Amino acid sequence: MGHVIAIDGPAGAGKSTIARLLADKLDYTYIDTGAMYRAVALWARQTETTASEPAKLEQLAQSAEIALLPPNRVWLNGRDVTDSIRTPEISGLASQVAAIGGVRAALVVKQRQIAEHANVVMEGRDIGSIVFPDARVKIFLDADPAARVLRRAGETPGGETQALAAQLAERDRRDRNRAESPLVQAPDAVYLDSTGMTVEQVTDAILKVVRARISNGKAAGATADTA
C-alpha cells in the first residue's frame, strides 16, 4: 500500500481545499470521502430510499459505482454528479446516511481499495481513526464554528449565514455522537486549528508534518508547529 495522509475534521474546517492542494504539491491522489457519502445520499434521494431503511442504503453503497476524477469531478453510476451532490439537502442527507454502519463498511472497502496502489491524501471524519488507523500521517483539522460557517457560506452561493450555522451545528452533533465511526481525533493525529490562517499557511504547516513523518517513519509530536 502507498503512503496515506489522513485528514479528519468537522464540516467547514477546510479539509477539501487543503487536501486537494497537498495532493497537487505531493503528486498524490486526492480522495474526497465526503463526496462518496454524498453520492450514496443522492442515489438514495433518487430512489426514494430514506435513512430509516438501513438495509436498502447498505445495498446502494455496495453497488454504487463511484469515481473521483480530475479535476475534482464526482461520477456516480456513469454520470457526472459533481454539482448535484453539493446542495444543502444532499449534504444533510449524507450526514444521516454516513451514520449507518453498513454504508460506512461498504465505502471503507472502496476507500481502502483506492489506496492499495497509490499514494493518497484522503479526507473525511474517520480516516485516521477507522479507515487507515496505521496511516503514517494523520491530521485533525479544526476551526472555530464562526469561521467554519463563513467558509461554508462561501461554498454555497446565496447561503444564509444563520441557517448555515444551524445546519453545521446539527451536522457536528450527528457526526460526533453517532454510534458508527464518530468524528474523533485519533490519538496519534496532529491537531491543527486553522482559524485565522490562510490556506497557504495551513498547507505549509501540514507539509512540515508530512515531511517529518514520512522521512523519519515515526510520529512527530501532538501539535503542529505553525510558527
Residue identified by cell 503542529 is: 224
Q: What would the DSSP string read from start to end of 8-76? A: E--TTSSHHHHHHHHHHHHTPEEEEHHHHHHHHHHHHHHTT--TT-HHHHHHHHHH--EEEETTTEEEE
Look at the chain and report how many structural domains it folds into. 2
Domain range for 80 is 33-118
Q: Is the pLDDT of residue 118 over 90?
A: no
User: Where is the domain boundary, 97, 118, 139?
Assistant: 118
Average pLDDT, the chain: 88
Please check whether residues 99 and 195 belong to one and the same domain. no
91 and 188 fall within a common domain: no
pLDDT digits (tens, 9 = 90+) for 41-51: 999 999 999 99
181 confidence band (pLDDT: 50, 70, 90): confident
The pLDDT-based confidence of 225 (bands split at 50, 70, 90) is very low
- Residue after which a domain boundary falls, among 118, 140, 157: 118
Instruction: State the pLDDT at residue 132.
Output: 94
Q: Could you tell me which residues are beta bridge partners of residue 124?
A: 8
Cell reading at 130: 477507522
Residues 202 and 128 in one domain: yes
Cα dihedral: 28, 34, 37, 43 (round 10): -90
Grid coordinates representing 58 are 447498505
Transcribe 155-218 into DSSP letters: HSTT--HHHHHHHHHHHHHHHHH-SSS-----TTPEEEE-TT--HHHHHHHHHHHHHHHHHH-S
| Mean pLDDT value of segment 50-59 | 96
Among 86, 118, 150, which residue terminates a domain?
A: 118
pLDDT digits (tens, 9 = 90+) for 66-87: 998 887 899 999 999 999 999 9
The per-residue pLDDT for 161 is: 80
What integer pLDDT is reported at residue 189 of this predicted model? 96
CATH number, residue 98: 3.40.50.300
- Quick one: 104 and 158 in the same domain? no
| The C-alpha cell that represents 23 in the structure block | 495532493
Q: Which residues pair with 76 in a beta bridge?
A: 66, 79
pLDDT at 103: 96
Domain co-membership, 158 together with 209 = yes
Q: Check whether residue 144 and residue 85 sit in a common domain.
A: no
Per-residue pLDDT tens digits for 150-159: 887 776 555 5
